Amino acid sequence: MTFKPKSTLPRLSREFYQGQAFVLWTHTIEGRTTGWLNDEFHLHFRELLLHTCHRFELATATYVLMPDHFHLVWLGLGAASDQWLATAFFRKHLAPQLGGHRLQDRAHDHVLRDAERERGALADSCAYVCQNPERADLTRQWRDWPYVGAVASGYPDLDVRTADYWARFWKIYNRLIDSPNAVPALTGRATTETGPRSRCGPLREERELRDMNRSP
């Protein structure tokens, strides 16, 4: 089974992007302009992606940077994960790295259904995403494309190109979602649903998101 981005936010209600949601995000450059993608940008992109995954309790199963857009497959790791806030944060801090280019007003998304979350189905779908450079005739083999990868906080050598990637990824995923410190440490939320939220955590990001006057 494969998936393709079809919609813009808000496609589904906010809750579909929270918790242990699996979502394919597509971010497109305004006017489909090119010239921003290079090795230096890729380094900044990975650094920011790592910070985003850590702060919002996410794992990036696959990412692919194309000359005029990029794809992210994000997996929420806990109840406090919020991919709307993560997307707003990521786009805000990525913007300066684009130079004179800018992202389109909204990202496209596809929230994975139950059947698409199965291990084999997710691997097939991520393979389809990874093969974008092949279909665009940018490379003969997607593994030769330099701007493809995966990110999980604490695992700098995680590589989507390796033969044992998915066996390793699921071990890491299960380890991360079992982490007892993940929710309070990464988001600033209280450990109970009825407790107060940190003034410097998601509440401030909610205000920033409203100030943008648009969905991420």
Residues of the chain with pLDDT under 50: 1, 3-9, 181-202, 212-213, 215
pLDDT given for residue 41 in this prediction: 98
What three-state secondary structure class fits 161? Answer: coil
pLDDT given for residue 12 in this prediction: 85
pLDDT given for residue 11 in this prediction: 66
Percent of the chain with pLDDT over 70: 77
Q: What is the pLDDT of residues 198-210, one digit of tens each?
A: 333 445 555 555 5
Assign domain 7-212 one CATH number from 3.30.70.1290, 3.40.50.300, 3.90.1010.20, 3.90.1150.10: 3.30.70.1290
Q: Which two tokens stand for residue 103?
A: 């992202």
Q: Structure pTM? A: 0.80
Question: Do the Cβ atoms of 142 and 134 come closer than 8 Å?
Answer: yes
Nearest to 136 by CA among 49, 62, 70: 70
> What residues contact 69, with CB distance under 8 A and at least 6 apart?
26, 27, 28, 29, 32
Q: What is the pLDDT of residues 135-178, one digit of tens each?
A: 999 999 999 999 999 999 999 999 999 999 999 999 999 999 96
